[in-house]
Amino acid sequence: MPQYCSVPGCTNSGGHKFPEERELQLRWRVAIKRRDSTTKGLWKPGKHDVVCAAHFKEADYRVSGLLGSRKRLLPDAVPSLFLFRENSTPRSSKYSRRDDVDLSVVNNVQMEVEVGNEAEVKEESDDLDGIEPLQQEMGVHCTLLGRFGIDNLENDPKRVQYYTSFRDYEHFMLFFNCLGPAVNELNYQCLSLTPKDQLFMCLLKLRQNKEDIELSFLFEVSESTVSKIVITWINFLYFQLKEINIWPSRDIVTDYMPDDFKNKFATTRVILDATETPIQKPSHVDAQSVTWSSYKHKNTIKTMIGCTPRGTVSYVSDTYGGSASDRQIIEKSELL
């Protein structure tokens, strides 16, 4: 069965598979402007998805063989030829007017166009003044998108939970407001993003493990700004939340204990497990020795995590080098 091109509106079959290298693959995903129908974020390709040759320039290929009969795509090539690119030469086409839109919302808005067969879109000016939603006879779908931010999800609890783990927008804002006025006095200030959107970016990074380059596209800031915001907020959240007592009383643990535990392990208070996280090999020899894990066969840091029988995290130990045993961490934790 032929594999069709992944570019929106293209019906060609066959082509080049997406590169395995993550950064280059992300550049391809950004270039084709395809959105996930559920999350509205960047679409993620499968292992068989392709981009056809129509979207690459001749300069993207290495020609070899007799009379240039063989063409190979260069390893750093990125697709760049699309119908939805700006077209400087107007062409005659039949357009039908769609719903009227208040043009005051057009500023700072991107127009994402999914084009049907041979669809062509003409932009009147760079600043989008006077643009009206249009639908070509063959079918053009236009969507107005603002900068990615938590306020855009105010009425979308499913996406709020997907991106942040909070149940809905109200719970996110409750947590944000609990952080107090210090959110406006962080050492690193980003004037282009509100504090609550900076928190949203940090939670999105932690929850979905988004790369900095993708977050920079979503929030319209530089990669270095993304890195500084995430590091600043992780440190800030640590100092704001570390004093919270997450250790529940025995009565609370018993009241919320599942029946299976009550029948078999009624006295269970906490379930412990050590988690190891790989780290970059330290330059200092002593640090290499302390962090070397004989279990993982690499340099790691180790943390003991405790959960109630219901599954709520109730204990987090200090962090130790990967050479520390589980027993040593337990003895230092004073849990016993």
The model's pLDDT over 70-126, given as tens digits with 9 standing for 90+, comes to 788 998 999 998 875 444 344 444 344 334 434 333 334 334 334 443 333 344 344
Alpha carbon distance 218, 197 (integer Å): 11
In b/e form, how buried is each residue of 290-316, taking b as 16+ CB within 10 angstroms? bbbbeeeeebbbbebebebbeeeebbe
Reported as a pLDDT band with limits 50, 70 and 90, residue 69 is: low
Q: Which residues pair with 136 in a beta bridge?
A: 95
Enter the pTM of the model: 0.52
Residue 240, classified by CB atoms within 10 Å of its CB into exposed (0-12), middle (13-18) or buried (19+), is middle
Query: Which residue spans within the chain are E strands per DSSP?
Result: 16-17, 50-51, 61-64, 70-73, 95-97, 110-115, 134-136, 140-145, 271-278, 292-293, 298-307, 313-321
Model pLDDT, residue 82: 84
Q: Report, as an integer, the average pLDDT of 31-40.
A: 82
Whether 31 has a pLDDT exceeding 60, the answer reads: yes
What does DSSP assign to residue 104? Answer: G
Average model confidence (pLDDT) for the chain?
80
Beta bridge partners, 274, equal 304
Percent of residues, the chain, with pLDDT higher than 90: 45
pLDDT at 126: 43
Per-residue pLDDT tens digits for 149-170: 999 999 999 999 999 999 999 9
Domain positions in the chain: 16-73, 95-145, 150-241, 250-333
Task: Give the closest residue to 202 by CA, choosing from 173, 244, 236, 161.
Answer: 236
The more confidently predicted of residues 328 and 39 is: 328
The residue-averaged pLDDT of 31-56 equals 86
> Burial, 228: exposed, middle or buried (Cβ in 10 Å; 0-12, 13-18, 19+)?
middle
Dihedral-angle region of residue 180 (phi above 0 means left; psi in -120 to 50 means alpha; beta otherwise): left
Neighbours of 171 (CB within 10 A): 15
Percent of the chain residues past pLDDT 70, beyond the cut: 79
Q: Taking each helix axis from N to C terminus, what angle separates 157-164 and 169-178, rounded to the nearest 10 degrees?
A: 50
Parallel, antiparallel, or unpaired for β 50-51 and 61-64?
unpaired
Q: Tell me the pLDDT band of 61, cut-offs 50, 70 and 90.
A: confident
Check if the beta carbon of residue 301 is closer than 8 Å to that of residue 277: yes
